[in-house]
């Protein structure tokens, strides 16, 4: 009991000193970073530059004069990004004395070279009119629907479309019923069925067997 009481007294006495030391250490590591971002070629201020601390994602932006200010810690890496310029990273020194640090960040333009495009006019007005008239215009939705509703086109599409679920189900049921109906005997051959020959002649007259290619 006395031992626990002694430990409690020692902790109560030492805790303020430990907390104060930890606070002083944290206070010493916090840096107020401020500076200005400018172009490298003309030294003009860059507004709306993103200034982000990479360790925790905190950030700010430069004002119209390119000035910024943000709280960081010693050893942090700060990234500067803006469209049209290459990103830059500045590292805060770990052995920095004091709690203030300033810098001037220069941004270099990120140039992208595109292939050369030469636009030339038509040689003559007559050639432009001829090419404009002869340019094939793709069908719109109405014209496509009109062509698809043609009787010959619908017949070709009907033969090439796969069966849906209901058609497959009906075919399976019909085949099953037919196999049960003629079980134990040979099923009849449609080559001797006059109705089948009648349907074949009608289809032949309609042109169902013609090569559409």
Per-residue pLDDT tens digits for 57-103:
899 999 999 999 999 999 999 999 999 999 999 999 988 888 889 99
Percent of the chain past pLDDT 70, that is, above it, reads 82
Task: Please give the average per-residue pLDDT across 115-131, as a whole number.
Answer: 81
Q: What's the gap between Cα 200 and its chain centre?
A: 55
Is there a domain that residue 144 lies in?
yes
**Phi (first) and psi of residue 24, to 5 degrees:** -65, -40
In a domain, 32, yes or no: yes
Residue range 42-65, pLDDT digits in tens: 999 999 999 999 988 899 999 999
| Higher-pLDDT residue of 91, 163 | 91
CA quadruple 157, 161, 166, 167: dihedral sign: positive
The CATH number that applies at residue 39 is 2.60.40.1120
Report the first-to-last Cα separation within the chain, whole angstroms.
104
Please tell me the total count of domains within the chain.
2
Q: What is the model's pTM?
A: 0.45
The whole-angstrom separation of Cα 2 and Cα 199 is 112
Residue 70 belongs to some domain of the structure: yes
Examine residue 19 and state whether it is found in any structural domain, yes or no.
no
Residue ending a domain, choose from 47, 79, 107: 107
Token code pair at residue 178: 């037919």
Average pLDDT, the chain: 80
Query: Domain containing 156: what range?
Result: 125-206
Looking at 73, 107, 141, the residue that finishes a domain is 107
């Amino acid at each position: 009991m006395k031992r626990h009481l002694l430990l409690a007294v020692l902790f109560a006495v030492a805790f303020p000193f430990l907390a104060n030391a930890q606070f002083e250490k944290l206070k010493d590591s916090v840096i107020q970073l401020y500076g200005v971002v400018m172009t490298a070629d003309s030294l003009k201020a860059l507004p709306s530059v993103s200034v982000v601390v990479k360790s925790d994602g905190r950030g700010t932006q430069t004002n119209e004069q390119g000035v910024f200010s943000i709280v960081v810690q010693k050893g942090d890496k700060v990234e500067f990004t803006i469209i049209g310029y290459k990103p830059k990273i500045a590292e805060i020194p770990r052995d920095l004395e004091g709690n203030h640090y300033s810098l001037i960040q220069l941004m270099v333009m990120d140039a992208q070279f595109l292939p050369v495009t030469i636009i030339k006019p038509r040689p003559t007005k007559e050639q432009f009119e001829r090419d404009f008239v002869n340019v094939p215009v793709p069908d719109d939705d109405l014209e496509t629907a009109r062509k698809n509703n043609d009787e010959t086109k619908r017949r070709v599409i009907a033969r090439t479309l796969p069966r849906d679920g209901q058609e497959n189900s009906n075919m399976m049921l019909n085949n099953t019923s037919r196999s049960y109906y003629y079980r134990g005997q040979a099923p009849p051959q449609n080559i001797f069925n006059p109705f089948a020959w009648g349907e074949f002649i009608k289809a032949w007259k309609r042109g169902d067997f013609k090569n559409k290619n």
